[in-house]
Structure 1
Amino acid sequence: MAKPPASLSGQDVGSFAYLTIKDRAPQILTKAIDTLHRHKSEFFEKYGEAGVEAEKKAISLLSKLRNELQTDKPIIPLVEKCVDTDMWNQYLEHHQSLLKESDETPRWFYSPWLLVECYMYRRIHEAVIQSPPIDDFDVFKESKTQSFFESQESVIALCTYLQELVRTIEDLDENQLKNEFFKLLQISLWGNKCDLSLSAGEASSQKTNVLNSLQDLKPFILVNDMEHLWSLLSNCKKSEKTSIRVAIVLDNSGFELVTDFILADFLLSSKLANEIHFYGKSIPWFVSDTTVRDFNWLIDQVKCSNHKWMSKCGVDWENDVKMGRWVYHDHIFWTLPHEYCVMSQVAPDLYAELQKAHLILFKGDLNYRKLTGDRKWGFSIPFHEALNGFHPAPLCSIRTLKAELQVGLQPGQAEQLMASDPTWLTTGKYGIFQYDGPL
């Protein structure tokens, strides 16, 4: 196989990677510092003087990190012993060995963007865990919570729609069922617009009822492989497999997670699947990514709502978890800097777990970057080729575009987009359902 192209990197001045490292990353760090500072009295109430000292320590570690980033210092190994520390440090060493010829050391602007961005979030985590007794504090929790509460009306609209749909689902013919499946897939796609790392942690909630906008948003779907998903799952259902397993590799918590839950609920209710396996992050990540705490918190919030259809959803979802129809997994691999084509070597247990799925849905931009190695692929390179050998099961990327990376487009499609909308790759305005699997 030909050598894959170079990684996206901050050394391309003016690129989205460059602007992320130069502007968005320091803003995210500043916001994390500010969050710790605002919780000072709470830490004092909880832990006394030790809490205040811990807050000072975490802030000083984050300020040091921000300074390293802004002055393009070398990337240093992790120091705090965790389950993934050695794997991280080996990866950094490996990256350094690739630079041997040029006598360079890995630095913020001259290393692969995927590596430095993941490294920053891992260092944020390190700063917090090095500061007991506040070492389980999630610096992003407030932003995630706010985004959920600001999206209340949209959440209520979706829960109401779902409950009405589920009540009559037995009466739908095949075509109606397919239309509902496509509708809920699109809701899950546009839910991916609510990404706090893109807005550098600024509020990014869903204020409108996305159900009313689906028709208007259709032209913005650049690759639409929904038909493949339908034929795959409806064939599984027709062959009366004892168990149809769909895996959803999650992205953002808050509103997007609600849209993923709605889709998962529909898959079970329509018998297109009978177990849903969710994969989330084991530590706070990319501001709004889902952890097990966010997953459980969201189900609780929905259940405790005083809106009857919303709380009914929460009760159902809690029950799905209890009965094992919904299973949440986390794994350290999701917060390593590796691209997915090495998963079978680096995390064979996770790869084997994904192989049990009939379909894997990868939500969001970071998953897409890791699926394709975050490289400078040509726009019309086939998705299958960019996956570089990663094929645990039939899979589909569901993402809105927030990085200068997209493969599998028709010849000329990217040029047309560029002419009409120069920022088409990075604003989250366009989306894809991009499938890879036996057709």
Structure 2
Amino acid sequence: MAPYDWPIDTVNLPVMRIVTPKNEFMCGIYGMSFAYYSLKERLPVILTKIIDYLSREGAKIKSTHGASDEDIRSYIQYVTKLKNDLVTNKQYDLLTVDTPEARRWNQWIEALDIKHYFTNVWVFTECYVYRRLREGCELSKTLKNFDPFADQKQKSFEGSLELMCIVADKLVNMLSKSDKDKCKSDFVTLLKLCLWANKCDLSLSSGEQVFLNGNNADGKATASNIIDPFQMILDFKDKLLVDDTSKIVDQVTSKAEAMMKNLEANATVKYQCSCNRLATLAGITVCKDEPASAVDGAISSPPETPAAEATDVPCPTKMTSPQHVMFDIVCDNAGYELFADLCLAHFLISQGIVQKIRFHVKNIPWFVSDVTPVDFKWVIDSCLKASYRREVPQQPTEAAEGEVPPEPEPPRVISADNLRALAEQWTKYVDEGTFVVLHDDFWTSPHVYRDMKRHAPSLYRQLQYAVALLFKGDLNYRKLLCEKNVPPTSGLEAALQGFLPAPVIAVRTVKADLICGLPKGKWDQLNALDDKWMQKGDFGVIQYCGKVEPLKVADRPCDQYGDVCRGAGCGPRTDM
């Protein structure tokens, strides 16, 4: 990509005044790359804002968390040292908290050939910094549940409340069972809604509030103006560089229909557990609890269980088809973007396309605005309690010459009535297990997704049961592309480098200088128009890879039970 105009420190840092070479990992040593700019400018600003927030809101934090002045001072000192280590390109420190996950982090650090902030791969350094921020809280007795980004996420939500009300008013008309053409059109529209909602990324803006097109400096719509996210989809049509939405809808619906028919055909058949065979292969004790019928190859009908309850399922290492038709969303930002994801999920359920939606979120505060389980619940609860209302004057209709001007139309009312109704249904979906929130440690690891099968085989297999995987945002996109600056015309399948658990849908507004799937010549054309187009989030892609790895019976017991595998089933669970 074209050189950037920021200052490049080649005196104090081991940096070259070049862009990231093709097929090389994104790294801070390339001074003309966004990786360098992020490590040198954006990330230090984010850390500085945490320090300022701790200093400014110390009384509030102490009241909320029962913290002492010493707790606040200690965390400030911790973050200050972390920032200094980053900007001076020190070696990574090992984590000092003693948990299995922290010990894994230390093993990953010790295994590195390059252990410095700027000279190691960009994604490792960024993930490491956010993991260290969490460690600073873990080392405190009172700040273990402290989220240094909570206020920013909540303000971002509040600034987007009118947008959510407008979307809710239109979504309620998409939920009734519709014909094939309307269903496809609405599905496409909601995918694009999810794309442009990804502009609201607080890590890109170093924690500053991000507002969508048309807002004024305070993030509010003007008195006579309405910002309509659905109109934005039309306005941004030329900024959607790769649009696979039609293919996605066709492929997802057809695959979901096939899976549904398969489930119905096998509704009375109990999956046979092959635990004895697997245990023998693994060299462990044969499962004593496996019923004789399973050993003999017989089948039986399962007892009927209410749909809302967790049900016994076969061991995941042995299932070769899922128990439900599921669509997975690997989330990015909280606030308005999560709201848009919930709208898509609600549509897929209400239209009967799938039976469950699994939301994969981060288990700790991450990249400023990423969704955590706390954020997920907070967004739904806040929608449920929303009390927004605004009257917008209609534009007067001009009368023809000599005619009496018509009576002014009544103002348009924007309210949270439908938003609350949606949130009430989302709460029920969560309670009954239709919406499932999962937070595997892998999502807050430094690993790219090509390596998921090695580092998190159970998660990889879990993803294989989905009808499709929707990956949101830039960090997920970078990890899908293995943090490599692939040629921009490379196809998504090649860029995934073997990460094929289920059909992959990649949705992101472009905020980092790596991309794939562009038409020939498009990348050069965009660079000629604006050499910073890859860092602004003004352009987006919705990409699809339908190639998948066949789901086979595993050759080892699952990680959850190992040599104490219980045989015919893994007990009650709602995520399968």
Query: TM-score, structure 1 length as denominator?
Result: 0.93
Q: In the aligned structure 2, how far is the partner of 1:293 from the partner of 1:139?
A: 13
The answer to whether residue 174 in structure 2 is matched with residue 65 in structure 1 is no
Match of 1:6 among 10, 14, 24: 24
- Note if contact 1:148-1:205 (Cα within 8 Å) is conserved in structure 2: no
Aligned to 1:15: 33
Q: In the aligned structure 2, how far is the partner of 1:393 from the partner of 1:45?
A: 46
The answer to whether residue 512 in structure 2 is matched with residue 403 in structure 1 is yes
Aligned to 1:102: none
Classify the secondary structure of the residue corresponding to 1:69. helix
- Note if contact 1:55-1:131 (Cα within 8 Å) is conserved in structure 2: no
Measure how far apart 1:173 and its partner are: 2.3
Unmatched tracts of structure 1, length 5 or more: 100-105
Measure how far apart 1:247 and its partner are: 0.3
Q: In the aligned structure 2, how far is the partner of 1:40 from the partner of 1:429?
A: 36
Q: In the aligned structure 1, how far is the partner of 2:181 from the partner of 2:256?
A: 15
Measure how far apart 1:6 and its partner are: 2.2
Classify the secondary structure of the residue corresponding to 1:176. helix
Aligned to 2:44: 26
Match of 1:123 among 120, 124, 132: 132
Q: In the aligned structure 1, how far is the partner of 2:40 from the partner of 2:120?
A: 13
Matches of residues 3-152 of structure 1 in structure 2 within 5 Å? 5-45=23-63, 51-96=68-113, 99=114, 106-152=115-161
Q: Deviations over 1:180-228 (max 9, x none)?
A: 1111110000000000000000011345321111111111111111122
Name the stretch that deviates more: 241-250 or 133-142.
241-250
AA of the residue aligned to 2:90? K
Structure possessing the higher radius of gyration over alpha carbons: 2
The answer to whether residue 238 in structure 2 is matched with residue 229 in structure 1 is no
Measure how far apart 1:88 and its partner are: 1.2
Match of 2:350 among 269, 275, 289: 269
Aligned to 2:180: 174
Match of 2:327 among 232, 246, 263: 246
Tell me which of the two structures has the higher relative contact order, counting C-alpha pairs closer than 8 angstroms and 6 or more residues apart.
2
Q: In the aligned structure 1, how far is the partner of 2:476 from the partner of 2:428?
A: 28
Runs of at least 4 residues off by over 4 Å: none
Match of 2:196 among 190, 196, 209: 190
Q: In the aligned structure 1, how far is the partner of 2:240 from the partner of 2:100?
A: 39
The answer to whether residue 418 in structure 2 is matched with residue 309 in structure 1 is yes
Higher relative helix content: 1
Classify the secondary structure of the residue corresponding to 1:95. coil
Q: In the aligned structure 2, how far is the partner of 1:186 from the partner of 1:265?
A: 15
Classify the secondary structure of the residue corresponding to 2:68. helix
Identical positions, percent: 37
Q: In the aligned structure 2, how far is the partner of 1:70 from the partner of 1:391?
A: 37
Count residues with an aligned counterpart. 424
Measure how far apart 1:47 and its partner are: 6.6
Q: In the aligned structure 2, how far is the partner of 1:424 from the partner of 1:371?
A: 21
Aligned to 1:418: 527
Q: Deviations over 1:127-166 (max 9, x none)?
A: 1211221221000000000000000110101111111322
Name the stretch that deviates more: 419-428 or 327-336.
419-428
Q: In the aligned structure 1, how far is the partner of 2:490 from the partner of 2:150?
A: 38
AA of the residue aligned to 2:31? V
Classify the secondary structure of the residue corresponding to 1:425. helix
Q: In the aligned structure 2, how far is the partner of 1:248 from the partner of 1:184?
A: 13
Distance 1:200 1:46, change over 3 A: closer
The answer to whether residue 232 in structure 2 is matched with residue 200 in structure 1 is no
Classify the secondary structure of the residue corresponding to 2:482. coil
Name the stretch that deviates more: 58-67 or 200-209.
200-209
Measure how far apart 1:238 and its partner are: 4.1
Unmatched tracts of structure 2, length 5 or more: 1-21, 216-226, 264-323, 388-415, 549-576
Classify the secondary structure of the residue corresponding to 1:247. strand
Aligned to 2:437: 328
Name the stretch that deviates more: 27-36 or 39-48.
39-48
Classify the secondary structure of the residue corresponding to 1:349. helix
Aligned to 2:172: 163
Measure how far apart 1:93 and its partner are: 1.8
AA of the residue aligned to 2:24? A
Measure how far apart 1:298 and its partner are: 0.6
Distance 1:433 1:294, change over 3 A: same
Q: In the aligned structure 2, how far is the partner of 1:84 from the partner of 1:393?
A: 26
Q: In the aligned structure 2, how far is the partner of 1:403 from the partner of 1:44?
A: 37
Classify the secondary structure of the residue corresponding to 1:164. coil
The answer to whether residue 259 in structure 2 is matched with residue 259 in structure 1 is no
Query: TM-score, structure 2 length as denominator?
Result: 0.72
Aligned to 1:375: 484
